[in-house]
Amino acid sequence: MKEQLEQIKQSALAALDAASTPAALEELRVKLLGKKGELTAVLKQMGKLSAEERPVMGQLANSVRASIEEKLEKRKADIHAAALEAKLAAEAIDVTIPGKSVSIGHQHPMNQVLQTIKDIFVGLGYQVVDGPEVELADYNFTRLNIEEGHPSRDRSDTFYFTDDDSVLLRTQTSPMQIRYMENHKPPLCMLAPGRVFRKDEADATHSPMFHQIEGLVVAENITMGDLKGALTTIMRKIYGEDAVMRFRPHHFPFTEPSCEMDMQCHKCHGTGEVDGQVCSTCHGEGWIELLGAGMVHPKVLENCGIDPEKYSGFAFGMGLERLAMGRMKINDLRLIFDNDIRFLNQF
Ligand code: DAH
C-alpha cells in the first residue's frame, strides 16, 4: 500500500506539472482527489490493515493528499499568472508611437457671417429670436398688409401646404415682426435670422432656399433718421468704416415710407468700370443692393395691437447670402450650398 501511495504521489505531481489549462487541472483534481478518485480508492482498503499499520498508512495518505493539494494550488496560480502575462503582452500599447492627428472642422462661412452680424446687433441691444419656417399666410402676408391677389402670394412663387393657401413655407422673415409684436410691448428691438423659401430656379444669384435677417425697432418717437443711423452704423461695422452707403426710395406693403439701401461697389468704387471693362461685381451699376427697409406701416402696428398714434418704428430685411458673398468675394451662390470641402476650407 505504501508503494501504491508513493506511486500515486509521483504520477500525480508529474501530471499536475504537465497540465497547462484550468480545465485540465480540474479534471486531474477529480481524478486524484474526488470520491471516485485514485486516493479514495486506496483509502477504502485501509480496513484490511492491522491496527499498527493503519495510523502509519493514514498519516502517509494524508501527507500524499496534502502534497497533491499544495501542488494543485501552485499550478492554478502559475497558470493564472501565465494567462494574465499573455493577455497583457497581447494588449500592449506602445505609447511612444506618434498619434493620429484629428482634423478639427470650423463653422460654415454662412454661420461665420451670421455670427458676426448677430454680435453687432446684440451689442446694440437687439434681442435675437427664432421663428417657424412653416408659417401661416396670415403672418407671412395678410397682417403684413400684403393683400389678396398680391403677386408674391402667387402659387408660382410660394410653396403652399394646403389647398386654401393658408399654410406655407415662409417667403420672408418679415412674419417674425408680427409674431414678436404679438408678444412684446414697445420699446422693442428684435433681430430674426432664418431660412426662407421661394419657387426660384437655382442659378448664380438665386436659390429656392436662402437666408434673411429681419430687424425691427418700435418705440416712441422713432424716425427715419434712426433707421438711417442704425443701418449706416451696422454696415460700417460689417464692411469697414470707409464703406459708402445710399438710401433709395422703394415700395414695400408693410412699411411707409420704404427704401432700399445700397453700398458703393468696393471693386470699382462707384464708377462701374475696372480697367476699361464693365465691373463684374456690380455689373456696371456702381452700387450693390443690400437690404429693404422702411418705417413700420401704421396698419401693421394696429394688426399687432400697438397704437400707431403713440408708437412708431423701423424695420429692415437683408439677404444673408448676398452679404456673405460680398464680404467673402464669392461669385456663385450655389457654392455656398454645395458643401464641397475644398470650397469650405478656404474660409
Ligand atoms: N421682406 C422683404 C423681402 O423679402 C424685405 C424687407 C423690406 C423687410 C422692407 C423689411 C422691410 O423688414 O422693412 O423682400
Nearest in space to 13 (alpha carbons), one of 22, 1, 21, 5:
5
Q: Which amino acid is at 255?
A: T
Q: Which amino acid is at 283?
A: H
Confidence of residue 156 (pLDDT cuts 50, 70, 90): very high
Q: Quote the pLDDT of residue 52.
A: 83
Confidence of residue 120 (pLDDT cuts 50, 70, 90): very high
On the 0-12 / 13-18 / 19+ scale of CB atoms within 10 A, 331 is: exposed
Q: Quote the pLDDT of residue 93.
A: 87
For residue 80, give every residue at least 6 positions away whose Cβ sits within 8 Å of its Cβ, in sequence order, or none: 22
Whether residue 178 has pLDDT greater than 80:
yes
Whether residue 154 has pLDDT greater than 80:
yes
Which grid cell is 340?
A: 464641397
Q: Is 145 in the pocket of ligand 1 (CB under 6 A)?
A: no
Q: Is 57 in the pocket of ligand 1 (CB under 6 A)?
A: no
Q: Quote the pLDDT of residue 62.
A: 84
**Alpha-helix residue ranges (DSSP H) falling in the chain:** 2-18, 22-33, 38-43, 53-90, 109-123, 137-140, 175-183, 224-239, 298-303, 320-328, 334-338, 341-344
Query: SS3 string of 308-323?
Result: CCCCEEEEEEEEHHHH
Q: Quote the pLDDT of residue 8.
A: 83
Q: Is 158 in the pocket of ligand 1 (CB under 6 A)?
A: no
Q: Quote the pLDDT of residue 37.
A: 80
Higher pLDDT, 26 or 124: 124
Mean pLDDT of 34-53: 81
Q: How far is the CA of 302 from the centre of ligand 1 (A)?
A: 18
Mean pLDDT of 185-195: 97
Q: Please tell me the least confidently modeled range out of 32-46, 114-128, 235-249, 328-342.
A: 32-46
Q: Quote the pLDDT of residue 232.
A: 93
Q: Is 207 in the pocket of ligand 1 (CB under 6 A)?
A: no
Q: Is 319 in the pocket of ligand 1 (CB under 6 A)?
A: no
Which residue's CA is the closest to the ligand 1 atom numbered 8? 317
Mean pLDDT of 124-149: 97
Mutate-to-test residue for ligand 1 from 158, 174, 224, 254, highest number of ligand atoms within 8 A of CB: 174
Whether residue 82 has pLDDT greater than 90:
no
Q: Quote the pLDDT of residue 324.
A: 86
Mean pLDDT of 206-231: 96
Q: Is 326 in the pocket of ligand 1 (CB under 6 A)?
A: no
Confidence of residue 227 (pLDDT cuts 50, 70, 90): very high
Whether residue 188 has pLDDT greater than 90:
yes
Whether residue 318 has pLDDT greater than 80:
yes
Whether residue 266 has pLDDT greater than 80:
no
Q: Is 174 in the pocket of ligand 1 (CB under 6 A)?
A: yes
Which residue's CA is the closest to the ligand 1 atom numbered 13? 293
Confidence of residue 4 (pLDDT cuts 50, 70, 90): confident
- What strands lie across the sheet with 312-319, from one edge to the other? 127-128, 188-197, 209-219, 312-319, 287-296, 255-264, 245-252
Averaged pLDDT score across all residues of the chain: 91
Whether residue 42 has pLDDT greater than 80:
no
